């Protein structure tokens, strides 16, 4: 068996066997085939596609290309959540402690931000002292004792995906459905949880802006996850505006704490409750999504969710006092209020451009090795559909310098359209996919 034979077979639109896919994945993991052959195979997959069985085989082989976490020592059904990425998407920091407070263990391995999307690990590291680096035994012990842990990938999880992901980025094969599905699920399966809830974003800030593409991705993820033997559900949620009002690492942690403390609500809470209710359903803690949401609201109102977050922070070496005093989070030296400057209705947001505005301030990175400033970002004070006047607050900038603030202001104004006609609110939910059904919401 050679890579050339496999490239030729897929180029002609023929299905690959499990053994052939295993050979391809092994070549990627061990880097025993030249990049140009791996890239040729990726392009053949992009152009010819894969069957669900092929995609499942690719997912499982990529999972098994490295370490697979064994979480069987943790009692109960361990449940994980994954978002395809967005701006102001701090749902993990809200729902993980709430779900854990409802009795479902949350063992989550997260990623860092790149480009216009934020990363959960970067947000957590804005908490003074907190470490996202934990060994698997430490990870398991924390979930046993606290009920929740959110850490970076440990060991050598899915090394084949690292190789192929880097090649996809430079070969215009990022938008291949089988490659997206196998990349997401191989890492989730390797992380060891028993059930997975997926948040598939759609809209101007999503990896797949078109709704039909997002629906196709959600359906493929659920089909392949089910074939791989895991209970999987996928919500399709809107990213036509930032999910939360705060964009930037420490600012997003502040918003999560404000929500858990009962001081804030809005779209971030709404989406977190919907995702969390699906997690409780798959974990066997609730019989219906409605029952799950009621449980989460009780954990919110009682303060049990905030207490779980406080305990998680302390267990990972962070300063739990941030849960009572958010001023202990990093603070930007320049804070500048800007107004809308005109009358009308907020009709559109280029969410990716808003994410890049925060990245340009230092909140994100263009390359994996770039450093970030945890303190910078902005707080939006308008939503799509709002009626505004010239003096209506648009946002508060948190910047390192006045020059950074000025550049961010210009970028944010370009990204937000204020029109003369009333318009509807942006939708939070557009679909739900489970193994039994797919519905538009």
Active-site residues: which are they? 82, 161, 168, 183, 187
State the burial class of residue 32 (Cβ atoms within 10 Å of its Cβ: 0-12, 13-18, 19+). Answer: exposed
- Alpha helices of 74-195 — where are they, by DSSP H? 91-101, 120-125, 136-146, 159-170, 177-190
Task: Tell which residue, 198, 204, 201, has the closest CA to residue 222.
Answer: 198
**Exposure on the CB side of residue 144, measured as CA atoms within 13 A:** 11
Rounded to whole angstroms, the Cα distance separating 398 from 405 reads 7
b or e along 317-353 (b: 16 or more beta carbons within 10 Å of the residue's beta carbon)? ebebebbeebeebbebebebebebeeebbbbbbbbbb
State the burial class of residue 13 (Cβ atoms within 10 Å of its Cβ: 0-12, 13-18, 19+). Answer: exposed
Q: What is residue 150's DSSP assignment? A: E
State the burial class of residue 208 (Cβ atoms within 10 Å of its Cβ: 0-12, 13-18, 19+). Answer: buried
Token readout for 361 is 């301030």
Rounded to whole angstroms, the Cα distance separating 27 from 438 reads 36
Token readout for 294 is 């009621």
Strand-pair category, 377-380 with 246-247 = antiparallel
Write out the DSSP string of 333-386: SEEEEEE--S-EEEEEE-HHHHHHHHIIIIIS-SSTT----TT-EEEE---TT-
């Amino acid at each position: 068996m050679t890579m050339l034979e496999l490239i030729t077979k897929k180029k002609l639109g023929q299905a690959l066997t499990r053994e052939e896919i295993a050979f391809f994945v092994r070549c990627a993991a061990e880097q025993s085939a030249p990049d140009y052959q791996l890239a040729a195979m990726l392009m053949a997959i992009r152009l010819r596609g894969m069957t669900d069985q092929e995609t499942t085989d690719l997912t499982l082989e990529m999972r098994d290309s490295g370490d697979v976490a064994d979480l069987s020592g943790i009692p109960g059904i361990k449940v994980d959540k994954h978002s395809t990425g967005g701006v102001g998407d701090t749902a993990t920091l809200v729902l993980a402690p709430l779900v854990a407070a409802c009795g479902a263990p949350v063992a989550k391995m997260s990623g860092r931000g790149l480009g216009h999307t934020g990363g959960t690990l970067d947000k957590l590291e804005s908490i003074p002292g907190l470490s996202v680096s934990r060994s698997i035994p430490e990870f398991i012990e924390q979930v046993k004792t606290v009920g929740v842990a959110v850490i970076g990938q440990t060991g050598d999880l899915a090394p084949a995906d690292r190789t192929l992901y880097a090649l996809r980025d430079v070969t215009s094969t990022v938008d291949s459905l089988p490659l997206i599905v196998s990349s997401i699920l191989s890492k989730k399966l390797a992380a060891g949880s028993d059930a997975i809830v997926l948040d598939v974003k759609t809209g101007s800030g999503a990896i797949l802006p078109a709704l039909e593409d997002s629906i196709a991705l959600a359906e493929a993820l659920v089909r392949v996850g089910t074939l791989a033997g895991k209970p999987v559900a996928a919500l399709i949620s809107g990213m036509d505006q930032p999910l939360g009002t705060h964009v930037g690492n420490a600012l997003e942690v502040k918003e999560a704490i404000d929500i858990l403390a009962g001081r804030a609500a809005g779209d971030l809470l709404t989406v977190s409750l919907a995702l969390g209710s699906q997690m409780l359903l798959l974990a066997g803690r609730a019989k219906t999504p409605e029952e799950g949401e009621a449980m989460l609201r009780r954990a919110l109102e009682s303060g049990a969710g905030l207490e779980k977050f406080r305990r998680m922070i302390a267990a990972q070496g962070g300063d739990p006092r941030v849960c009572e005093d958010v001023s202990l989070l990093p603070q930007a030296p320049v804070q500048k209020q800007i107004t809308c400057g005109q009358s009308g209705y907020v009709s559109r947001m280029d969410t990716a451009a808003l994410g890049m505005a925060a990245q340009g301030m230092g909140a994100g990175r263009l390359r994996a090795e770039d450093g970030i400033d945890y303190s910078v970002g902005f707080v939006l004070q308008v939503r799509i559909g709002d009626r505004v006047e010239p003096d209506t607050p648009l946002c508060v900038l948190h910047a390192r310098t006045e020059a950074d603030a000025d550049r961010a202001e210009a970028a944010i104004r370009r990204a937000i359209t204020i029109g003369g006609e009333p318009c509807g609110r942006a939708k939070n939910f557009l679909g739900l996919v489970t193994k039994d059904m797919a519905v538009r919401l």
